[in-house]
Structure 1
Amino acid sequence: MSRILLLISLFFSAATFAAEDVYTGFFSNKAVSGYDTVSYFEGGPVQGKSDFKTEYQGAEWLFSSQANLDKFLANPEQYAPQYGGYCAWAIAEKDDLAPGDPAYWKIVDGKLYLNYDKSIQGKWEKDVPGFISQGDLNWVKR
């Protein structure tokens, strides 16, 4: 029994470290839960399609069209969410890697930020510049 627990803990530890740069969840390798990150900059999020995908920073990124995939490939840092898609508030306030939910987002100064849920996004919106400043400092330390 202890061997099984050890193997499970090693598996989850390795998965956690491998996916640390980009949030994908435990049982997926899809960044932003499979949403097309370019679409956030063009009116709002839409689900990506497996026909239009690429790998970036160890995660699979899906897009709704070849045009959006091409835009991402030309400049992934412009379209990838900040803090690897983890919750912007959690990075700033707690220096913690909480999941970002693609439904709770905001573009600030041309950058995409995700938050954990509606309540957390409300907290984040009370001091967006302050949280971004602190989040940037915390993220660089990782």
Structure 2
Amino acid sequence: MKKLIVFVLILVSGTSFAQNEAKRINLYNLENKLGIQGYDPLGYFNLGKAVKGKKEISVSYQGVVYNFSSVENKNTFLKNPAKYEPQYGGWCAYAMGDSGEKVEINPETFKITDGKLYLFYNAYFNNTLKSWNKDESNLKTKADNNWKKIYNNQKP
């Protein structure tokens, strides 16, 4: 009986994990499952700049592939992936706060606030990081709520 219960628990948790993975792949800003356009998530934190990762040093975390510029960065990420993933699935933080829309980003336009990585659209003379900085607290609250609605309303 114990074995049956353990088997059912494993089956249920595996199904839940697969659904969560599918949800993330559908919702996140990815190209062929690649997050942050191949940039190293730890570069933002450790170096304070956007650094391209290497395909050979990558990891898949809940369906999202991240590239790293070093094995050390990859190993650090694996210890606490949620800490280093960009907010709002890697979509533009400003757009998420302003209108609740999923807008592409420029991975070289970013900000770390309270230990979290925020990415922004920056093209055609429109750097949304500047707009974000003018009303960060309000936009962050709205972005958090908008992303929660988007994430919770998406079927896996």
Class of the TM-score when normalised by the shorter of the 2 chains:
0.7 to 0.9
Q: Say whether 1:37 aligns with 2:41.
A: yes
Q: Say whether 1:57 aligns with 2:62.
A: yes
Q: Of the two, which has the highest radius of gyration? A: 2
Give the TM-score, by structure 1 length.
0.81
1:140 is aligned, of 139, 144, 148, to: 148
Contact 1:22 1:57 in 2 (8 A): no
Question: Helix, strand or coil for the counterpart of 2:27?
Answer: coil
1:66 is aligned, of 49, 71, 85, to: 71
Give the TM-score, by structure 2 length.
0.74
1:22 Cα deviation (Å)? 2.0
1:90 aligned partner, one-letter code: A
Q: Say whether 1:115 aligns with 2:124.
A: no
Question: Helix, strand or coil for the counterpart of 2:30?
Answer: coil
Q: Which residue of 2 aligns with 1:24?
A: 30
1:20 Cα deviation (Å)? 3.5
Alignment of 1:89-108 (within 5 A): 89-108=94-113
Matches of 1:39 and 1:74 in 2, distance apart? Answer: 16
1:84 is aligned, of 72, 81, 89, to: 89
Gaps of at least 5 residues in structure 2 are 1-22, 151-156
Contact 1:34 1:47 in 2 (8 A): yes
Q: For each residue in 1:49-101, what CA deviation from the matched residue of structure 2 results, as whole angstroms up to 9, or x when unmatched?
A: 11211112322110011110011111011100000110001111111111122
1:126 aligned partner, one-letter code: K
Matches of 1:115 and 1:93 in 2, distance apart? Answer: 12
2:105 aligned partner, one-letter code: G
Gaps of at least 5 residues in structure 1 are 1-16
Matches of 1:22 and 1:34 in 2, distance apart? Answer: 14
Matches of 1:22 and 1:31 in 2, distance apart? Answer: 8
Moved over 4 A (4+): none
Matches of 2:84 and 2:94 in 1, distance apart? Answer: 19
- Amino-acid identity (%): 36
The two structures, once aligned, show a CA RMSD in angstroms of: 1.5
Matched positions, count: 124
